[in-house]
């Protein structure tokens, strides 16, 4: 387990006051309707990034609600910059056909020499690759979420 992942787990468990909750980066936690296209899209994004000496990896698939609550509080009731506009999201859904709350979304990250690049211009090129696989890209939103892709219309499927 990475250091960052442990730090997140500790912070979330302090908020939740109970069990340690961890976000997942595993494509197996994605809803079956998008799992194959997500894996293929990330592989294609990674191939594009490698031409610039960078890599693309999944950074989040499933995110527990306690962690979403903790992220939402940041910049509002806890210190730090605002990192999300969403109280609920497609990383943690409760669709009738996803009884385990499988993720309807994933985040991808650009990395160089193992370092995460949150503001790389490459995201502009990578998002449209998700769209070609029938996914909605957060880069088109009013408050853009560049590294985020999700199942189209998942909210209407509730």
List contacts with Zn ion (CB under 5 A). Answer: 107, 148
Closest residue to Zn ion: CB criterion: 148
Q: Pick between residue 102 and residue 107 the one whose CB is nearest to Zn ion.
A: 107
Q: Pick between residue 51 and residue 83 the one whose CB is nearest to Zn ion.
A: 83
Q: How far is the CB of 51 from Zn ion (least distance, A)?
A: 25
Other CB atoms within 10 Å distance of the CB of residue 115: 8
Q: How far is the CB of 122 from Zn ion (least distance, A)?
A: 17
Q: How far is the CB of 63 from Zn ion (least distance, A)?
A: 8
Q: Pick between residue 67 and residue 107 the one whose CB is nearest to Zn ion.
A: 107
Q: Pick between residue 54 and residue 108 the one whose CB is nearest to Zn ion.
A: 108
Q: How far is the CB of 129 from Zn ion (least distance, A)?
A: 16
Which are the contacts of 129, defined by CB distance < 8 A and separation ≥ 6? 41, 44, 45, 48
């Amino acid at each position: 387990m990475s250091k960052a992942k442990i730090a997140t787990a500790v912070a979330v468990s302090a908020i939740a006051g109970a069990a340690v909750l961890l976000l997942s980066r595993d494509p197996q936690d994605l809803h079956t309707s998008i799992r194959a296209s997500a894996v293929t899209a990330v592989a294609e994004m990674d191939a594009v990034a490698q031409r610039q000496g960078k890599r693309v990896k999944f950074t989040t698939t499933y995110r527990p609600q306690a962690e979403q609550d903790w992220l939402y509080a940041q910049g509002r009731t806890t210190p730090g910059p605002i990192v999300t506009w969403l109280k609920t999201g497609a990383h943690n859904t409760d669709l009738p056909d996803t009884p385990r709350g499988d993720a309807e979304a994933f985040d991808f990250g650009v990395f160089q020499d193992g370092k995460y690049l949150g503001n790389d211009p490459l995201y502009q090129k990578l998002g449209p690759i998700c769209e070609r696989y029938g996914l909605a890209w957060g880069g088109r939103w009013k408050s853009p979420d560049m590294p985020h892709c999700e199942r189209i219309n998942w909210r209407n499927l509730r």
